Amino acid sequence: MKILGIESSCDETGIAIYDEQSGLIADALYSQIELHKEYGGVVPELASRDHIRKTLPMIQQLMSESQLSPTDLSGIAYTAGPGLVGALMVGASIAKSLALAWDLPTVGVHHMEGHLLAPMLSADKPSYPFIALLVSGGHTQLLSCERYGVYEILGESVDDAAGEAFDKVAKMLGLDYPGGPEVARLAESGTPNAYRFPRPMTDRPGFNFSFSGLKTFTKTTIASIDNPSDQDKANIALAFETAVVDTIRIKCKRAIEHTGFKSLVIAGGVSANTSLRTSLEDLASNMNTKVYFPELQLCTDNGAMIAYAGLQRLKHGHTEDWAISVRPRWPMTELENAQ
């Protein structure tokens, strides 16, 4: 069973073909970073226009490179939400039009379920049950995953997502978009403990996060320094990154203790962060637990995770009708139980 996956929820056009037997057989990614850079963030209208330019030629190229014809496919998966409405509409429209022409079923995939299942594309994959930490530009969530499709939210951010906080702090430090990798790079030359930033919401029980106060604390710290030097900025980047990583680590530790699960899955763009990966590896080994990350190129948005998640949905009998509809806001708790 082979499935074509289309990701277009934000600023990456991701196309992939996943085969149930042999795994990922083709994968292409086009990043719009250069397009949005001069605006310091994603411009939704430009994102949609670029997806519409890139999607079909990328699908055509991938199909011909992998020497596949439409009759080799069993379905087409696309990101149905959450994300930018116009960008999602592009993926949904193209997926449904091709499916109509090629006589195939379509599957609308929840973007965060795609991220959540991305570690399943690795050779060493987690088995259920596991705890999942989803950390992206729009979400920060800790989930308990009993089995495929059954996700309970243990906690989530009450304000900014972790990636969003990274992006905003990057702007404050005069760094380029997307900010997460830039802050991480700058933090590498920071002096440890030059500053100590708060670890929000760790002094009270529960699994929720809040990164808005930490963002304001960072802003105030920058404003308190006359003409911050490059070293000051690096020290601040490191203090911020360390605070985010420590906060996440504390909540993951609680989730492991609470559920008793022995596997921890980390996914979403921020899971590419080296300090976070190192800290959570360390936590897991101290708690006799195993941590699973997607391969680095599958941490941020990509078509492979949508193809994989779509195949699981298709196998469980989920298909869409022909109406083109997307869900820009779509809580994971509203996902139909796939069992």
Q: Which residues bind ligand KG4 (CB under 6 A)?
A: 10, 115, 136-138, 163-164, 166-167, 178-181, 184, 268-270, 272-273, 300-301
Pick one of 136, 242, 263, 279: the residue that binds Zn ion (CB under 5 A): 136
Largest CA distance in the chain: 65
Q: Which of Zn ion, ligand KG4, none does residue 143 bind to, with CB < 5 to 8 Å depending on kind?
A: none
C-beta of 301: minimal distance to ligand KG4 in Å?
4
| 155 versus 268: smaller Cβ distance to ligand KG4 | 268
Q: How far apart are CA 24 and CA 36, in angstroms?
A: 29
Give the chain's count of helices (H) and strands (E): 10, 10
Q: Exposed, middle or buried by CB within 10 Å (0-12, 13-18, 19+), for 298?
A: buried
Residue 117's identity, in one-letter code, is L
Q: How far apart are CA 138 and CA 135, in angstroms?
A: 8
Residue range at the interface with Zn ion (CB under 5 A); choices 128-136, 148-156, 206-214, 275-283: 128-136
| 9 versus 259: smaller Cβ distance to ligand KG4 | 9
Is-contact 6 78, C-beta < 8 A? Answer: yes
C-beta of 6: minimal distance to Zn ion in Å?
14
| 248 versus 283: smaller Cβ distance to ligand KG4 | 248
C-beta of 155: minimal distance to ligand KG4 in Å?
18
C-beta of 114: minimal distance to Zn ion in Å?
7
Phi, psi dihedrals of residue 66, rounded to the nearest 5°: -90, 10
Q: Which of ligand KG4, Zn ion, none does residue 179 bind to, with CB < 5 to 8 Å depending on kind?
A: ligand KG4
C-beta of 210: minimal distance to ligand KG4 in Å?
17
Is-contact 273 281, C-beta < 8 A? Answer: no
Residue 208's identity, in one-letter code, is N
- DSSP characters for 148-185? TTEEEEEEEBSSS-HHHHHHHHHHHTTPPSSHHHHHHH
Q: Which of ligand KG4, Zn ion, none does residue 134 bind to, with CB < 5 to 8 Å depending on kind?
A: none
List all residues 6 or more positions away from 142 whose beta carbon is below 8 Å from its beta carbon.
131, 132, 133, 134, 153, 154, 155, 156, 207, 251, 252, 255
Is 301 one of the binding residues for Zn ion (CB under 5 A)?
A: yes
Residue range at the interface with Zn ion (CB under 5 A); choices 133-141, 160-168, 175-183, 234-242: 133-141
C-beta of 107: minimal distance to ligand KG4 in Å?
19
Q: Which of ligand KG4, Zn ion, none does residue 32 bind to, with CB < 5 to 8 Å depending on kind?
A: none
Residues lying near Zn ion in the complex (CB under 5 A) are found at 136, 301
